[in-house]
Amino acid sequence: MNKFFVLSTLCITLSSSVLFARINTIDTVPHASYLVYDNGDSFFKSGSQSACYVTYYTAQGDQIKRVNKLQRCGFMFRLDPSAGKPQPTTYAIKYEPAYMVGRMKIQGDFIFFYDKHGNVIKRYRFNQNKNKLTDFEDRLDLSKVLAQPEEHSYNSMRSNLKKDLFNGQSALSWDDYNEFLEPYLFLAEKDLFLPRFWVNNAGHKLCKKYCTALINYNAACFYHYATPTPHTELQLKKAQSDFENIIKQIKSTFGLTKLNCVLESAATTMILVKANEEYFKRLS
């Protein structure tokens, strides 16, 4: 009995020593103002747990260090309290349909702040009747956001796209359509190259052309899915060709070597098909 007690005590002591030794090895990353998980979901626990790497940035958005999150459980580096507040370059107000966090159902508008790479720095609940941009100046340096013309912001581009898509249909109310559409916009922003690129380039004229081509392509997809005929097939092929040509023009204009036009078009098509299938079910 005494031997068991001694061995147990020894094991606990050794375990505690290792644990506290690891805690004591936590280092501050100099000049690190914020961090981003490699899957982009730095604000969701589920997302941050699935990420493999964490990247630390200065307040201005310059990369400092990229760390393997699994190394020492991913908690060996922390932000520098003296680094200054993060400086987002643009923002977007998004509606999140209901999802469960524990036993609570969360839904409503959130404001997302982005850095110059298109990463989400922070997000906060946002009441469009009460809140304004300057409400977040105590947590972020909003000088660049406030200096940006609103019509060039990602928020304006995203809002206009949603309104144009909504005006192209008449079956759902704005609230119902907004709840239906947002998950697919989130999916596009997560999986596609160009939505992330537009975060800091939404004021360019090619962005408007891209949105117009996307809206036309989406309409052609729906009509061919709902009532497939030789005519709707021709319309779909033309809309797809126009959309692919815009993607090629964007790649050429901006010199986007990482943009694969074929894969971008195919991935966009998959999202449109999923969205139109769901929309058609809601009409039935």
Report the domain count for the chain: 1
Q: Is residue 169 part of a domain?
A: yes
Q: Is residue 120 part of a domain?
A: no
Does the residue 248 lie in any domain?
Answer: yes
- CA distances, 142 to each of 133, 134, 145, 211 (Å): 8, 8, 5, 27
229 inside domain: yes
Residue with tokens 């070597």: 257
Q: What's the token pair of residue 229?
A: 């005929």
Better-scored residue on pLDDT, 74 or 191: 191
pLDDT for position 129:
87
* pLDDT computed for residue 53 by the predictor: 81
Asked if 107 contacts 124 with a C-beta cutoff of 8 angstroms, the reply is no
> Is 38 among the domain residues?
no
Q: In whole angstroms, give the CA distance from residue 52 to residue 39.
A: 8
Residue 154 within a domain: yes
Residues 126, 132, 135, 136, CA torsion sign: positive
- pLDDT tens digit sequence for 108-149: 889 999 999 989 999 898 988 899 999 999 999 999 999 989
Which DSSP string do the residues of 166-192 spell out, in sequence order? Answer: HHT--SS-HHHHHHHHHHHHHHHHHH-
Q: Which residues contact 127 (CB under 8 A, 6 or more apart)?
A: 108, 109
Closest CA to 161 of 189, 133, 142: 189
Q: Is the pLDDT of residue 70 over 90?
A: no
- Residue with structure tokens 């969701």? 44
Confirm whether 279 is domain-assigned. Answer: yes
8 A C-beta contact, residue 69 and residue 125: no
End-to-end CA distance of the chain: 72
pLDDT at 78: 82
Of the candidates 69, 65, 40, the one whose C-alpha atom is nearest the C-alpha of residue 52 is 69
- The reply to whether 235 falls in a domain is yes
Q: Which domain holds residue 194?
A: 149-284
**Number of other CB atoms surrounding residue 249 within 10 Å:** 15
C-alpha span between 284 and 176 (Å, rounded): 15
Per-residue model confidence as pLDDT tens digits over 214-270: 999 999 999 999 899 999 999 999 999 999 999 999 999 999 999 999 999 999 999
Helix axes 230-254, 205-226, angle to 10 degrees: 160
Report CA 214 to chain centroid distance, whole Å: 19
> pTM for this structure?
0.76
